[in-house]
């Protein structure tokens, strides 16, 4: 491995032992010819699978005709994409800024929120991940905060509503997320310097451990923001564009944000991102001199790709497909939970789901050894999954296969996961039995 990374900067994740030479559909192929079923859609992005023919055709055509322009120039692909994106969203979300990455879209959204409100404080979850650039990193509490000097002032943490591990409980033992949210904002109000500008959250925290906001939470959060004059920013980098069974995850709750950020899934694996907001917020920001003038803002190539992704997801009804496949996936993961003492929880929605690994169900002690053993065993058997490891938690196995994955490949991946668990964890003595589809 040392020769492979000889000239590379290491950036926080161990490199896989084999070089990947090509990818198509739901599989990647290594240099030695081994096929690996991709249950992470690349970096949780390739919702259409790898090398989707519509995207390949679009990229080829765009590169040959209109790929990059001066940032002050507009193009038909940009206008067509912006109109198409606005058409998938509820009013008043209709003003689009096209950029390149998730961190960049969150930077732009935060700058707009601060400029529009005239304030600077930002609230995000204590297990948040919103990007590695300065503003997004300051709103990221799950990792990367140590060793780089002070983050941008004014970032405050809100408790993540984790139904499995939260200490906030009702008399019947169920998760009391309402009290948790109230207490969280009581602490926010005490810490605030009186300049609350925005709350930036994911509808399903992915890097935070596949934590789905309880039904009703987003509406209460919206009320908390409105009471304080804050703007609500939803980061749907991983949940947007069909992944959770609806076009956008916030649709389940019927609560629209003031600003929406999209990235990973919007480009289906290519570097595309966007911010969407209301005409009122855009007008205020424009009047106050909003500046986000970057090299690739409004690029026609990125616009062409994103427009194609929206067209394919709509045409092939992939959000509905994600919902159907998710409904097939959940009972199989629940079966693993019931079978193995080391599988503590199953959670997620659509084709973004995960299982939390623990030493046992009673103690819920994090099982760090099993994390590495399971992912290595899955990869050895031809399945790539991703483990989220945060302090105080068990390892969460994240699964986000392409929305285009076949039924057979979905169940093949789950079969491999089940077999790998048998080898690394054993049955745990609960309710052993044959796997079913």
**Which residues are catalytically annotated?**
129, 202, 235, 238, 264, 398
Distance CA 280, CA 91 (A): 12
Token pair for 216: 């009703």
Pairing of strands 211-212, 395-399: unpaired
Q: Which has the closest alpha carbon to 276: 46, 45, 88, 80?
A: 88
Distance CA 373, CA 40 (A): 18
Tokens 């693993």 map to which residue? 336
Tell me if the bond preceding 91 is cis, omega within 30° of 0. Answer: no
Token pair for 134: 């300065």
CB within 8 Å of 164: residues ≥ 6 apart: 344, 345, 347, 356, 364
Distance CA 358, CA 336 (A): 13
Tokens 């991703």 map to which residue? 386
Burial, 388: exposed, middle or buried (Cβ in 10 Å; 0-12, 13-18, 19+)? buried
Contact 219, 179 (CB under 8 A): no
């Amino acid at each position: 491995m040392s020769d492979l990374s000889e000239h590379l900067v290491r950036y926080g994740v161990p490199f896989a032992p084999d070089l990947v030479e090509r990818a198509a559909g739901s599989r990647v192929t290594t240099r030695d010819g081994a096929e690996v079923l991709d249950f992470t859609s690349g970096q949780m992005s390739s919702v259409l699978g790898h090398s989707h023919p519509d995207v390949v055709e679009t990229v080829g055509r765009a590169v040959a005709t209109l790929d990059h322009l001066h940032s002050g120039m507009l193009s038909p692909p940009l206008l067509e994409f912006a109109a198409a994106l606005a058409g998938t969203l509820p009013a008043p979300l209709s003003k689009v800024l096209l950029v390149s990455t998730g961190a960049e879209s969150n930077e732009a959204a935060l700058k707009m929120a601060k400029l529009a409100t005239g304030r600077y404080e930002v609230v995000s979850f204590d297990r948040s991940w919103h990007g590695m650039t300065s503003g997004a990193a300051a709103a990221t509490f799950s990792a990367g905060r140590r060793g780089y000097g002070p983050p941008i002032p004014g970032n405050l943490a809100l408790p993540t509503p984790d139904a499995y591990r939260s200490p906030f409980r009702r008399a019947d033992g169920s998760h009391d997320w309402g009290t948790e949210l109230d207490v969280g904002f009581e602490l926010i109000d005490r810490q605030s310097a009186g300049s609350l500008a925005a709350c930036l959250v994911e509808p399903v925290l992915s890097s935070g451990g596949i934590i789905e906001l309880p039904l009703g939470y987003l509406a209460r959060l919206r009320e908390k923001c409105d009471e304080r004059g804050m703007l609500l920013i939803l980061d749907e980098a991983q949940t947007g564009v069909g992944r959770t069974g609806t076009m956008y995850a916030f649709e389940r709750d019927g609560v629209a944000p003031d600003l929406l950020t999209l990235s990973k899934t919007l480009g289906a694996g290519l570097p595309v991102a966007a911010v969407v907001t209301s005409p009122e917020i855009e007008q205020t920001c424009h009047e106050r001199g909003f500046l986000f003038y970057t090299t690739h803002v409004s690029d026609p190539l990125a616009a062409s790709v994103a427009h194609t992704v929206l067209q394919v997801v709509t045409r092939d009804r992939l959000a509905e497909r994600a919902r159907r496949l998710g409904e097939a996936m959940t009972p199989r993961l629940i079966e693993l939970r019931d079978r193995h003492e080391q599988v503590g929880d199953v959670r997620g929605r659509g084709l973004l789901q995960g299982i939390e690994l623990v030493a046992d169900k009673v103690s819920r002690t994090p099982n760090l050894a099993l994390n590495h053993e399971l992912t290595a065993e899955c990869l050895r058997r031809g399945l790539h999954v991703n483990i989220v490891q945060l302090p105080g938690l068990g390892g969460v196995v994240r699964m986000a296969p392409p929305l285009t994955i076949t039924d057979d490949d979905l169940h093949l991946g789950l079969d491999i996961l089940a077999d790998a668990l048998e080898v690394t964890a054993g049955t745990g003595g609960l309710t052993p039995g044959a796997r079913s589809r």
